[in-house]
Amino acid sequence: MKKLSKLIITHMDFQGENLLISAKEEKDRICQFNIVREGEKKLLGNIYIGKVKNIKKNIHCAFIEIAPGEMCYYSMDEKEPPIFTNPKKDSVMKIGDEVVVQVSREGIKSKLPSVTGNLNFTGKYLVLTSQRKELGFSAKLTKEEKARIRPVLEEHLTGQEGIIVRTNARDASSQELLEELTRLKKRYEELRDRAMSRVCYSLLETGLPEPLRILQGVYVRDLEEILTDDGELYSRISEEVSAEKEKKVPVRLYKDKLLPLPKLYRLEKALEEALDRKVWLKSGGFLVIEQTEAFVSIDVNSGKFSEKKDTRETFRKINLEAAREIAFQLRLRNLSGIILIDFINMEAEEDKKELLKFLQGCLKEDPVKASVVDMTPLNIVEVTRKKVQKSLGEEMKSRRDVEKWEKSL
């Protein structure tokens, strides 16, 4: 049975800041936050004509300026060169070259934003790529679904672009897939033409606004309802989902002034809890979550547990409960990169194997790719989760750091 969920999009005052919040609710619990400060612009997904300012051959990277003073990191390990807008005799990147790049990752802590020459054009069912010129599939599609879709798209691969089939495509007809592919190809061609006549630092295409990006990243058929109290967003979201031919998700404009939407879903409390380093478990145990520059550490504690006869079984149950909660917290807090988990020590190898298998199963529910690497000899479990955006904690902290700096001047 599919888990139905609700997407809530609203404005909220939190700790003195005006925020636009997208919150996904599953099983009466907020499981995902995306936050935008009012008036704040995000770079993710934007496509620019940037200028190569420096090349570091020893670490295979270049630094590309996408706007005056806005430097980004570019990996030279990409298989193909980006699109050059200045005349060149070869495809070797040099300082001073003007190239078309897309922001693939926001700046995180002391790290610069990352850009790529592999442009992505995302639709409801497909992603068109400019460099990876092959047919790829979402890992969440079954073998049968891939077998149905593959012949529909394979004959339309021209060698000029690649196609990634998204999870939403499982419900799309052949006609819908091909119509979207045509639209994405046209969008790519128009952008290439536009790039050749624009000056350096031009913003060629803007990434989706955050609420619509969240909508695009959600498997629509799992949504029971989309709820917002913003009339303008209501209109945009209604237009976005109206193209659904099978199941049209209800979009509701919330109008009750006596009980505001953030209060109805206790969003302020949920956000406070998501920023707290300690998370209590029903068993009486608790997690301590710490984010450092290099990795995320999670410590599992037995907490209020008092010594009982069957210690092994008790620790096993606490660890399994912790594993499920950790998978939930990674998604809620958008924690990524290297995650090191110190579970309560277990002696039996079968219990350790069960824990790793269970944790991997919980991570599969995450829309962001996450996987268990291994358990070290010191019983530390290593997990990796794809890093795209700032974590929730970094997102909330970054603006405050800027304000402190400004006050110190």
CB 312 within 8 A of CB 344: no
Helix and strand numbers (H, E) in the chain are 9, 22
pLDDT band for 223, please (50, 70, 90 cuts).
confident
Check whether 204 has a pLDDT greater than 70: yes
Alpha-carbon gap, residue 52 to 92, rounded angstroms:
12
Alpha-carbon gap, residue 89 to 103, rounded angstroms:
27
Q: Over range 255-276, report the average pLDDT.
A: 93
Q: Over range 22-47, report the average pLDDT.
A: 84
Check whether 407 has a pLDDT greater than 50: no
Q: Over range 189-205, report the average pLDDT.
A: 94
Range with the lowest mean pLDDT among 23-27, 58-62, 212-216, 312-316?
212-216
Domain residue ranges in the chain: 5-40+209-268, 43-206, 276-392
pLDDT value of position 229: 93
* Spacing of C-alpha 391 from chain mean position: 10
Check whether 94 has a pLDDT greater than 50: yes
Quick one: which of 22, 40, 108 has its CA closest to 403? Answer: 40
Q: How many Cβ atoms are within 10 Å of 37's Cβ, its own excluded?
A: 15
Alpha-carbon gap, residue 215 to 228, rounded angstroms:
12
pLDDT value of position 361: 94
For the domain spanning 43-206, the CATH number is 2.40.50.140
Q: Over range 264-289, report the average pLDDT.
A: 93
Check whether 109 has a pLDDT greater than 50: yes
Quick one: which of 133, 117, 42, 41 has its CA closest to 73? Answer: 117
Opening angle at CA 363, ends 127 and 111, nearest 5: 65
Q: Over range 159-167, report the average pLDDT.
A: 90
Q: Over range 69-88, report the average pLDDT.
A: 90
Check whether 276 has a pLDDT greater than 80: yes
CB 332 within 8 A of CB 370: no
pLDDT value of position 211: 62
Exposed, middle or buried, 47 (CB in 10 Å: 0-12/13-18/19+)?
A: buried
Do the strands 337-342 and 296-301 form a parallel or antiparallel pair, or are they unpaired?
parallel
Percentage of the chain with pLDDT > 90? 52
Instruction: Specify the length of the chain in residues.
Output: 409
**DSSP string for residues in 89-116:** SS----TT-EEEEEEEE--BTTBPPEEE
DSSP symbol at 295: -
Alpha-carbon gap, residue 368 to 382, rounded angstroms:
17
CATH fold, domain 276-392, is top7, de novo designed protein (3.30.1710)
pLDDT value of position 116: 95
For the domain spanning 5-40+209-268, the CATH number is 3.30.420
Alpha-carbon gap, residue 126 to 116, rounded angstroms:
19
pLDDT value of position 309: 58
* Partner residues linked to 252 by β-bridges: 227
Q: How many Cβ atoms are within 10 Å of 156's Cβ, its own excluded?
A: 14
CB 12 within 8 A of CB 267: yes
Question: In 3-state terms, the chain is what percent helix, strand and coil (to 5)?
Answer: 30, 30, 35
Alpha-carbon gap, residue 169 to 111, rounded angstroms:
35
